[in-house]
């Protein structure tokens, strides 16, 4: 069974959204997780720029 073409986009969006909300609940590892989840959004951009 082939994956839906939007699967990676929705997966990244779900993780980023979960991180954003989780970040509101605490000031320690919650913030760290929120920042990591948001930074995840930018990884595909960096990867595509490095690819030849």
Partner 1 sequence: MKPGTLRVWSQVHTWSSLASTAFLLILCLTGLPLIFHDEIDALGKAHKIEQWDEAQLVPLDHAVDVALAKRPGEVPIYLSFDEDRPVVNITSGRSADVPEAEMGFQPIDRRGAVAAGGGQTGGVTDFLLDLHKDLLLGQGGMYFIGLVGLLFVAATVSGIVLYAPFARKAGFAKVRRAKAPRIGWLDWHNLVGGVTLAWALVVGLTGTINTLADPITAWWRADALAHLTSGEGGAVQPYRSGLVQKAVANAMAKAPGMRPQFVAFPGSPFSSGDHYAVFLQGATPLTKKLLTPVMVDARTGEVDAIAPMPWYMKGLLLAQPLHFGDYGGLAMKLVWTLLDLAMIWLLGTGLYLWLGRIRKRAR
Tell me which residues touch partner 1 (CB under 8 A): 4-6, 8-9, 12-14, 16-17, 20, 23-27, 30-32, 34-35, 38-39, 41-42, 44-45, 47-48, 51
Task: Name the helix (H) or strand (E) containing 17.
Answer: helix 7-23
Residue 50, H or E segment = helix 29-50
Smallest distance, partner 1 to C-beta of residue 43, A? 8
Instruction: Please identify, using beta-carbon distances, which residue of 1 and 4 lies nearer to partner 1.
Output: 4
Write down the least CB distance from residue 1 to partner 1, Å: 15
SS3 3: coil
Q: CB neighbours of 8 closer than 8 A, spacing ≥ 6?
A: 44
């Amino acid at each position: 069974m082939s994956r839906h073409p939007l699967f990676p986009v929705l997966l990244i969006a779900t993780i980023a959204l979960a991180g954003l909300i989780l970040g509101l609940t605490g000031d320690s590892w919650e913030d760290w997780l929120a920042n990591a989840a948001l930074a995840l959004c930018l990884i595909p951009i960096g990867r595509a720029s490095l690819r030849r």
